[in-house]
Structures are given as C-alpha cells and as structure tokens.
Amino acid sequence: MKIITYNVNGIRAAVGKGLIEWLQQTQPDVLCLQETKAQPEQIPVLEFEAAGYRCYSFSARKKGYSGVAILTRQEPDKVVCGMNLPVYDAEGRFIRADYGDLSVVSVYHPSGTSGDERQAFKMQWLSDFQDYVRALQKERPRLILCGDYNICHRAIDIHDPIRNVTHSGFLPEERAWMEQFIQSGYIDTFRHFHPDEPGQYTWWSFRANAREKNLGWRIDYNMATANLKSRLQRSVILSSAMHSDHCPVLLEITA
C-alpha cells in the first residue's frame, strides 16, 4: 500500500502544473493533500475520478485558505471530516479515511509565522490535536497521520539550525512537542528508514533560489502508530515533484 502526503499549496495551481499527470505516473493508493485552498465546488473531482481516484475533501470556511483532501483508489469504509472542534474545523485541517483496521489521516497543522497570536493558536492546536488522536486511538488504534506539521524535529531536518532557532517551525517548544509526541507512541516513518541522512527536506522558500540550493526544511511527515512498525516497508522524499513549494513524501506499508 503506497501512501503519499503532499502540501500542494493550492490544488488548482498544482493541477495546472501537472499534478494529475504525476498522479497517474506515481499511482499511490492514497494521496493525502494539504493546503488545497479551494471550496468543494472548486476541487477538480471529475478529473481525479478520470484518473482513477475518489476524492474526499474538507475545506476551510475562508475562501482560498487551508483545506485538506484524501484521494484514494479504494473506497474507504468510512470518511470523517474534522475533529468536532469548531475552532479548528472552521479552518479545514483534518480528514480521516478508514480501511479495515487502518486509518489514514490528512492533517494540516497551523503555521505560526504570521505573528504571536497565530503562534499561540498553533501551540494550543498541538495540545488539542494530541488529545484528539489519543482518544481516537481507543477506537482506531492503527493510525497513519500524514501531513504538513509545520515543525522541523531535529537540527538534521533544517538547512540552518543555528539561525532558524528563533523562527516558527523550529522553536524549542515546537521541537519539544514533536519529540514528546513521537515518544508517546508514534514513528517518524522517514527517519525510521533514514535515521541520519542529512539534506532531506520537504519545503523550500520561494526566495533566493532556496530549492535549487537545497536550503530547505523537513516539515511534512507520515507519522505511524508504533503498532504498525512491522508493516512499514519504505519511505522516501519525492523531491523531483515540482507542483508546489513542498514536495511529496511516500510511505509504503503492507496492506
């Protein structure tokens, strides 16, 4: 089973840059999208269906903002939009698809780069998100939480850890949250297979030719509950995909 997470930074723009052709070539079983920036009627559902994918989406109330989706070749047993937490669900940040004993989530964690208020919102979200998935595990114990976490976990995950230590996405409190989240029973599946490989990033600024110079951040993850460890097969960053300022991250597991 091939699962990919991808922050597309606008689904319509990504489709215009060849996303559907890439999808047909790559053929994941499940594609988790973040930052769709589209209302339901603006998502090219028919084009995805023509490519062989059912599309489930959860949009923000604000137009052109946030939003998540799951494209899937197999009909899920169940799809759940949101976390039943109105302050977050208004921003379209969480969608879940259940396949037998496995649940796959597409989640878009907030950014705190716009100021102190959104940074505080982000930290509260992180706490509430962890509480939510902890409770969800009682019902659905095998989870894969795919998405843009907007946090680099360790110094190896960012091109300049010294100068970025005061920047949202690499703040000590964010990294501490990520560490304890993993320690609570999750596997960073990319690092599971590539524990010490440097220069592996999933997002680059549009400024200063950052992508060409590989001045990036690894902020996109496929997090798996520890009980899935024996089913993990492979994880790679697909840095050649150029539909966004992010790139996709692949996880292969046994079905």
Residues with a catalytic annotation lie at 148
Q: For residue 14, what is the enclosing H or E element? A: helix 11-16
Place of tokens 């930074």: 9
Of 149, 146, 148, nearest to 178 by C-alpha is 149
Contacts of 104 (CB under 8 A, 6+ apart): 3, 30, 32, 70, 96, 97, 143, 144, 146
d(CA 133, CA 93): 14
Do the Cβ atoms of 54 and 18 come closer than 8 Å? no
